[in-house]
Amino acid sequence: MSGHQMTVVITGGAGSIGRATAEVFARDGAKVWVLDLPPALERARADMAGIAAGFLDVDVTDAAAVRQAVAQVLAETGRIDVAVACAGVSAGTALEEISADEFSAIVAVNLGGAFNLMQAVAGPMRTAGGGRIVLLGSVAAQQGGVRSGPHYVAAKAGVHGLARWAAKNLGPYNVRVNTVAPGPVLTAMWEGLGGTADEGAEGYPLGRMGRPGDIAEAIHFLGGPRSDWITGSTLDINGGMYLR
């Protein structure tokens, strides 16, 4: 990846973790492409005016739209070095109250969105001789949820499995695929589940909940040369709330 400006594509790039990730990569000299939906996309465009970034209106549940966005990035940059699947939605609905539509929506964004991005970038990365894909998993998939419902837990568990499959099958083409598994992070999603700032943080060995920047730095590591011999792994970023 040396000798040219790194190109990074981030779905859900206008969200708290996605935006922090975009800013970390941009700080390192990368050209970042933020894929998200309005109005969050417009807010991100205004807030990130000072960095090298492109902004595309993309619904990650629409496979054709994701492929089109990837093609647009490739037409301008020639390659995609890092693809990060940050798009996510959550709900704390009780098992008996989850409708078929809600189940489908949660799975479509969290698991389907990650799959659609991976499917779109895998071929170009193979052609280019390599690349890195980072998927956003969750501690919820590892220990059965924090505040989220079973559909979110199942979708995130699927993300972890998807990453392992891709690591095995894309590794021979020098494409590394890894997952980050955040614990509760202070984001709008957490607040939407009824979480509050540093709730229960006294139970964490490190004494606080996560911040978007904590996750972004880990994604940046997995997207860079210092993780050159890492694939198929899950990087736990949870302040010690879950140990394995």
Q: What is the pLDDT along the chain (244 residues), one digit of tens a residue?
A: 456 899 999 999 999 999 999 999 999 999 999 999 999 999 999 999 989 899 999 999 999 999 999 999 999 999 999 999 999 998 889 999 999 999 999 999 999 999 999 999 999 999 999 999 999 999 999 999 878 899 999 999 999 999 999 999 999 999 999 999 999 888 665 555 555 566 556 677 888 888 999 999 999 999 999 999 999 999 999 999 899 8
CA distance 229 to 85: 21
Yes or no: say if 134 and 26 are a contact pair by the CB < 8 Å rule: no
Element at 115 (helix H, strand E): helix 113-128
Task: For residue 200, give both structure tokens.
Answer: 């229960």
Yes or no: say if 76 and 125 are a contact pair by the CB < 8 Å rule: no
- Catalytic site includes residue 152: yes
CA distance 85 to 73: 16
Q: ω before 39 within 30° of 0 (cis)? A: yes
Coil, strand, or helix at residue 45? helix
Choosing from 152, 173, 204, 242, the catalytic residue is: 152
Yes or no: say if 96 and 32 are a contact pair by the CB < 8 Å rule: no
CA distance 99 to 103: 6
CA distance 82 to 220: 9
Yes or no: say if 86 and 137 are a contact pair by the CB < 8 Å rule: no
The amino acid at residue 125 is M
Coil, strand, or helix at residue 8? strand
Q: Which residue has the tokens 């859900």?
A: 12
The DSSP bridge partners found for residue 66 are: none
What phi and psi, each to the nearest 5 degrees, are found at residue 223? -90, 0
